[in-house]
A and B are shown apart, each in its own frame.
Chain A
Amino acid sequence: MAGAAPLIDIRKLCVGFRGRAGAMLPVLHEVDLTVHPGESIGIVGESGSGKSTLALAAMGYLKHGLQKMSGEVIYDGADMFERSDRDLSRIRGGQLGLIPQNSGQALTPTMRIGRQIREALHLHCDLPEAEYSRRAQELLAQVRLPDPGVMLRRYPHELSGGQQQRVAVAMALAGEPDALLLDEPTTGLDVTTQAHILDLLRDLAASRNMAMVYVSHDLGVIARVCDRVQVLYAGETVLDGPVRAVLRNPAHPYAHGLLASIPRLGEATLPRALDGRPPGPAEARQGCAFAPRCPLATGDCRAARPPMIDGPEEQITRCLYPDHVAGLEADTKRTEPQPCPPDSPEALSLFGVSIRYDQRGPIDRLRRAPRPPATVDGIDLQLARGETLGLVGESGSGKSTILKSIAGLLPPSAGAITLGDGTPLPRSVERRRPDQLRRIQMIFQNPDDSLNPRQSVAEILAQPLRLYFGLKDDALRDRAAGLLEVVRLGADYLDRRPGQLSGGERQRVAVARAFAAGPEIVLCDEITSALDVSVQAAVLDLLNDLKAEHGTGFVFVSHDLTVVRALSDRIAVLYQGRICEIGPAGAVYGTPSHPYTAVLLGAVLTPDPDHAPRLMAEDAAELSPPARGCPFQNRCPVKRGPICDTETPPLRDAGDGHGIRCHIELDDLRRIARR
């Protein structure tokens, strides 16, 4: 393969934008990328690494404001940036297909699916007029969409996220491309949907001998679909090599650190954080861009930018000491999460909590319309002091709803919530006493949204301190500075505003604000999902330390099964607002397990080229829970029969507080798992 002429050849590409001062600020520094026919290459990096820019540049396209500074993008013998508009129109969507990150926004909202696919066919295939519709339908069938004929007449917003992504794949296939460029095509999708789409892409690429350039921040995804991987850091290629070598034995310390920061499903350990942050486009750099964060860095690294050199196992690395990277292994032993002390007293209990979003109007009541089933129903949960309870499930599972209900922001329609001493907690936040409020604090998903942009960090931290402790002036400021120390930010952050902080720093401020109250229970709502993995690892590490120091209990909500695993003592698996399975983390992720848990675990990807996900259930999106029976009845791969549709399954006790709600006997569940 190496001898054949490359399909796409990007040479020393520099792309940048004009900064406020007028100088060009580069986002890509002399990046090389060669793609051979049929080859599948992963481009991996964290946000701001320039990976999407690189993929779009392969099509001769740059986002508004970006300019090519130097280098070339050779496709089919000519530079894409020198081609005529006519040429570009022929190649884009024809020989080179793009699958965008968010198809919900990338499909034209005013055009039916059929018209958009036929348009692509018209542009790139010469078919008799009558054939276009048939061919469009065929393409939808190829991407495994149900009822292709019906789909053609739908508008994009009428489809689920996974379906929209499949439509985008079908559209990219319309021109029979030589290469597909994929820009984070599964980010934001549920794990099961992601696994299905990746499976589809692998099959398509293999059967059509298409090359793929797959951009992702997720090494697990890359491991699943790519032969070769290129690691970008702050706009530079730092490592390029076969996927197996890069994942197993990376020859660059950044790649090594990145891998160590990924939580693993099989290990109950905390990932290692990478300290520091990559240089921005405006920052002057001398020498290796990674040197300030690198444990191996020497004076030579800081003096001049290292060249790309050959490393072990066919890797090419921008590191002067590729052979030392493996040695880092020894001191990167992952820390064990702080366990919950046994016989810890109870801190919080939920009994039969139901939550309804829908408000029936007077007309519905007049028409006697049947009341839709509650969004969240029958939740029983206990949290001990110093314990971390993970709530995990796909989008729409009601996990965040439950948190809001505990916080009093969304009063439950039935059931009770009590604090540790058994006193029932008033349902809405307005009725709760200051002391009750203080004991429960919440951290939100996105710190951009949960920190008031018009307040300084000092003012943000002052809110709870003034409210709960009546602190003033110097005492207030000292305490705020102390809190920043706790979350490993300095007192010099006090006068900054959220806009001047990085994503990880902002989330630390949010954590500090929650701990300002000296809470017993902290509710964490997807608090790491807006962060890069290396930053996520740091936040998880911080939470673990706080748990050890303060004996705080956490309710930790996430869609990411590995993150929940890394931190939780106990885990509850939710589907459509109902608990399927609950128990100690090890037991829930082991056997026997609820069929839904098994489906979820099967779909998890790990950065291991030999690991293949197991696809068991359809990834059909369900909008509302069924009125009766088991919530998972429509997607269950091992459904027992009509009883699943009518009867609520019993909670089967698997010992040690491990319960499974299923009509299937525990022994049978064990047997199914072994198959």
Chain B
Amino acid sequence: MRAGRSLRRGARGVETLRAMLGRLSGVIGLTLVALHLALALISPWIVPYEYTSMDSAQTLAGPSAAHWLGTDHLGRDVLTRVLLGGREALLVTGTATPVALVWGGGLGVYLGLKGGWRDEVAMRLVDAVLALPGILPLLVLITVFGTGGEVLMPTLAFFFGIPVIRVARAAAHEVVARDFISAARARGHSPLSIVRRELLPNVTDTLLVEGAMRWSWMLLAFSALSFLGFGVSPPKPDWGLMVSDARIYMSLAPWGVIAPVIALSTLIIGINLTADALAKTLGLDHSRKAVI
């Protein structure tokens, strides 16, 4: 019976994936995301140059046979750097998103179920942290702890988990009000078993969609930080950093800007379209959720 159940659960995943691929947004989104992930995995073995190798004879050169996307102001190959430029971002946000989802989702479900003064206090704190909009709280923490992936990963995981608390709490509230929870309580199941069997399966859909949206916002924040000079440190390649560097030479070498911009945008659009298709497939409308 156990095997049967996990089989069914797997079947639901396959079913959802198939339904998502039935939508145009799902096809485009999943293709883009898969492409980016694949490139990030194999790029170190396929890039034509070292990302640090400079060709001082060819700075800000246009596209050529040797450099398909030209070179930057230090004569580094733009194609190489674009191919590698998403790895750090994907690694950091790809780790931070699930962490944010688990801690924020867990706490939110707990609060939604428990209520009372804990809930009241926690929600005031959540409100207070959310009163620092956008990348502001990240900037403050960076001032304090400095930059780099090892700081950014926990920082992003922490701050992006906070709005998840709210979403998970609201979702839990909605489920708790339903009679199957009352029925389980009346039978005398333990709170833990009620959460595991009755509550969680009914909030995971919401959290999944939420996670996909958070991922894209986290990528936006990460690239903005990189752009401002607080993310990945040079000479490591990163799209945000590349745009920031190449911006000054934009009139001479626009491809230096355009290439990372396209790479970043396709990834974020891909994630967004995937989230959109996922939400529609699961019958959730996320477009009404708050921006923050």
A interface, CB within 8 angstroms of B:
404, 407-409, 429, 432, 434, 437, 440-442, 444-446, 449-456, 458-459, 463-464, 467, 473, 476-477, 495, 513, 517
Q: Shortest beta-carbon distance, A478 to chain B, in Å?
A: 11
**Do B185 and A517 touch (CB < 8 A)?**
no
Q: Which of B32-40, B138-146, B194-202 contacts A (4 or more CB under 8 A)?
A: B194-202
- With most chain B CB atoms within 10 A of its CB, the pick from A432, A437, A450, A452 is A452
Q: Give the residue of B5, B178, B189, B202 whose beta carbon is less than 8 angstroms from that of A467.
A: B189
Q: Give the residue of A407, A455, A464, A513 whose beta carbon is less than 8 angstroms from that of B201.
A: A455
> Contacts of A408 on B, CB cut-off 8 Å?
186
* A552 vs B286: C-alpha distance when bound (angstroms): 47
Q: Shortest beta-carbon distance, B13 to chain A, in Å?
A: 13
> Contacts of B187 on A, CB cut-off 8 Å?
437, 441, 463-464, 467, 517
* A86 vs B257: C-alpha distance when bound (angstroms): 56
The digit string for B180-213, where 1 denotes a CB below 8 A from any CB of A, is: 1011111111000000011001100000000000
> Contacts of B150 on A, CB cut-off 8 Å?
none
**Do B8 and A467 touch (CB < 8 A)?**
no
**Do A429 and B188 touch (CB < 8 A)?**
yes
Q: Shortest beta-carbon distance, B257 to chain A, in Å?
A: 45
Q: Give the residue of B1, B5, B8, B198 whose beta carbon is less than 8 angstroms from that of A452.
A: B198
Known: A449-B179, A476-B1, A477-B1. A454 touches B185 (CB 8 A): no
**Do B188 and A473 touch (CB < 8 A)?**
no
**Do A463 and B184 touch (CB < 8 A)?**
yes
**Do B8 and A451 touch (CB < 8 A)?**
no
Q: Give the residue of A409, A451, A459, A473 whose beta carbon is less than 8 angstroms from that of B186.
A: A409
The 6 closest A-B pairs by CB, nearest first: A437-B188, A450-B179, A454-B201, A444-B179, A449-B179, A407-B186
> Contacts of B185 on A, CB cut-off 8 Å?
409, 429
> Contacts of B180 on A, CB cut-off 8 Å?
449-452
* A409 vs B185: C-alpha distance when bound (angstroms): 7
**Do B178 and A442 touch (CB < 8 A)?**
no
Q: Give the residue of B5, B188, B201 whose beta carbon is less than 8 angstroms from that of A432.
A: B188
What are 19 sample pairs from A and B whose C-beta atoms fall under 8 A apart? Answer: A429-B186, A437-B187, A442-B182, A444-B182, A444-B183, A445-B179, A449-B180, A450-B183, A451-B180, A452-B197, A452-B198, A452-B201, A455-B197, A459-B5, A463-B184, A467-B188, A476-B1, A477-B1, A513-B183
> Contacts of B179 on A, CB cut-off 8 Å?
444-446, 449-450
* A458 vs B188: C-alpha distance when bound (angstroms): 19
> Contacts of A517 on B, CB cut-off 8 Å?
187
* A452 vs B183: C-alpha distance when bound (angstroms): 10
Known: A452-B202, A455-B201. A442 touches B188 (CB 8 A): no
- The B interface is mostly helix, strand or loop, or mixed, namely helix
Q: Give the residue of B1, B184, B189, B202 whose beta carbon is less than 8 angstroms from that of A454.
A: B202
> Contacts of B198 on A, CB cut-off 8 Å?
452
> Contacts of B201 on A, CB cut-off 8 Å?
452, 454-455
Q: Quick one: closest A residue to B188, CB to CB?
A: A437
Q: Shortest beta-carbon distance, A224 to chain B, in Å?
A: 33
* A591 vs B139: C-alpha distance when bound (angstroms): 79
Q: Shortest beta-carbon distance, A465 to chain B, in Å?
A: 11
* A408 vs B182: C-alpha distance when bound (angstroms): 10
> Contacts of B8 on A, CB cut-off 8 Å?
456, 495
> Contacts of A449 on B, CB cut-off 8 Å?
178-180
Q: Shortest beta-carbon distance, B49 to chain A, in Å?
A: 51
Q: Shortest beta-carbon distance, A199 to chain B, in Å?
A: 35
> Contacts of A455 on B, CB cut-off 8 Å?
197, 201
Q: Which of B202-233 contact A (CB under 8 A)?
A: 202
> Contacts of A446 on B, CB cut-off 8 Å?
179
Q: Quick one: closest A residue to B181, CB to CB?
A: A452
Known: A450-B183, A452-B202, A477-B1. A463 touches B189 (CB 8 A): yes
Given A409-B182, A464-B187, 7 other A-B contacts at CB below 8 A?
Answer: A409-B185, A437-B188, A446-B179, A450-B182, A459-B5, A463-B189, A476-B1
* A352 vs B5: C-alpha distance when bound (angstroms): 47
> Contacts of A459 on B, CB cut-off 8 Å?
5, 197
The digit string for B1-25, where 1 denotes a CB below 8 A from any CB of A, is: 1000100100000000000000000
* A434 vs B187: C-alpha distance when bound (angstroms): 8
Q: Quick one: closest A residue to B204, CB to CB?
A: A454
Known: A449-B178, A454-B201. A434 touches B188 (CB 8 A): yes
> Contacts of A432 on B, CB cut-off 8 Å?
188
- With most chain B CB atoms within 10 A of its CB, the pick from A437, A441, A463 is A463
* A432 vs B187: C-alpha distance when bound (angstroms): 10
**Do A442 and B183 touch (CB < 8 A)?**
yes
Q: Shortest beta-carbon distance, B285 to chain A, in Å?
A: 16
Q: Shortest beta-carbon distance, A583 to chain B, in Å?
A: 29
> Contacts of B1 on A, CB cut-off 8 Å?
458, 473, 476-477
> Contacts of B184 on A, CB cut-off 8 Å?
463
- With most chain A CB atoms within 10 A of its CB, the pick from B8, B178, B183, B198 is B183
**Do B197 and A463 touch (CB < 8 A)?**
yes
> Contacts of A453 on B, CB cut-off 8 Å?
202
Q: Quick one: closest A residue to B177, CB to CB?
A: A449
Q: Shortest beta-carbon distance, A464 to chain B, in Å?
A: 6
> Contacts of B202 on A, CB cut-off 8 Å?
452-454
> Contacts of B186 on A, CB cut-off 8 Å?
407-409, 429, 437, 440-442
- With most chain A CB atoms within 10 A of its CB, the pick from B180, B184, B198, B202 is B180
